[in-house]
Amino acid sequence: MGRRLIINCDDFGMYPAVNAGVLSALEEGIASSCSLMPPCPAALEAMSLLRDRPHLPFGIHLTLFCDTPAYRWGPLTARARVPSLLDGAGEFFAPDRVPALLAQARAEEVAVEFRAQIRAVLDAGLSPTHLDWHCLADGGREDLFEVTLALAGEHGLGVRAWLGPARRRLRRLGRPVTDHDFLDSFRLDPETKFLRYAELLRALPEGTSEWAVHPGLADDEARRIDPGWRVRATDHDFLTSPEAAALLAAEDITLVDHRSIVTGGGDDRPNVR
């Protein structure tokens, strides 16, 4: 089987410096796919970039949270139709309030909003490969995971599974899935990230793994609006480094994307550029 790795750039469409960082990581670095956030202010730019590059695989990063208080986004659905998804100010919750959102979100309203986000991508003439979630492990709740599975089934898309229970659920349904728990780069210390990524690549197990990375450029706007800009900048630096490409080659790790999971093969990327 060998060692296969999806390096997926989350948050495409969040703001312009993220778009630039994701594109750089895909075209000049070792990233193998990305996930688009349809509600975000730079989503239209991201969709245009994807239309111009139909070879780039991407998923839909289903979004119920807004990370940046100074740079807001909200639901694509009219707020009156999805009140359980909003905080007391009528906005998407911040990521540090995941429990509050999960305590009140109605599954039928989540389905309405997720469907709107998928429709926005399809109406743009784009062909996503999979669905995943922003700030929620496997949808955050079992019923929200099932909502997402149903939507993926409607559209013939894969689903990212973070943890063992979700992978087992997908296998019972005969749905394609990765083999191992996945990595979220926001859980790594930016100061030691290069060394940690190298350790993780050397220790990568047999089968298919997935990393969710978050590359972005550290321009003035990013530093002003995004508390996570250092995570994004250090991800970008690693993903585009010669050392990363050399390590993939030395370890004989094959880069893949969610098309390889759905189809059972093909669409592998070379591990050296």
Specify if 237 maps to a domain.
yes
Specify if 148 maps to a domain.
yes
Distance of alpha carbon 23 from alpha carbon 11, whole angstroms: 12
Specify if 44 maps to a domain.
yes
Report residue 72's pLDDT band, with 50, 70 and 90 as the boundaries: very high
What pLDDT score was predicted for residue 176? 80
User: Is 134 or 174 the better-scoring residue by pLDDT?
Assistant: 134
Structure tokens of 22?
Answer: 């994701």
Identify the H or E element spanning 169.
helix 164-172
pLDDT average, residue stretch 29-43: 98
Specify if 205 maps to a domain.
yes
- Domain span at residue 240 reads 3-263
**Using one digit for the tens of pLDDT, what is the confidence trace for 239-271?**
999 999 999 999 999 999 998 776 554 444 444
Contacts of 162 (CB under 8 A, 6+ apart): 137, 138, 181, 182
Specify if 70 maps to a domain.
yes
Distance of alpha carbon 142 from alpha carbon 156, whole angstroms: 21
**Which range (24-33, 117-126, 262-271) has the least confidence?**
262-271
Specify if 269 maps to a domain.
no
Number of domains in the chain: 1
CA dist list (Å): 123 to 118, 126, 127, 159: 9, 7, 10, 20
pLDDT average, residue stretch 10-39: 98
**Using one digit for the tens of pLDDT, what is the confidence trace for 191-229?**
999 999 999 999 999 999 999 999 999 999 999 999 999
- CA-nearest of 67, 138, 142, 80 to 112 is 80
| Residue given tokens 């592998």 in the structure block | 268
Specify if 268 maps to a domain.
no
CATH of the domain at 170: 3.20.20.370
Specify if 150 maps to a domain.
yes
Contacts of 17 (CB under 8 A, 6+ apart): 216, 217, 218, 219, 221, 222, 232
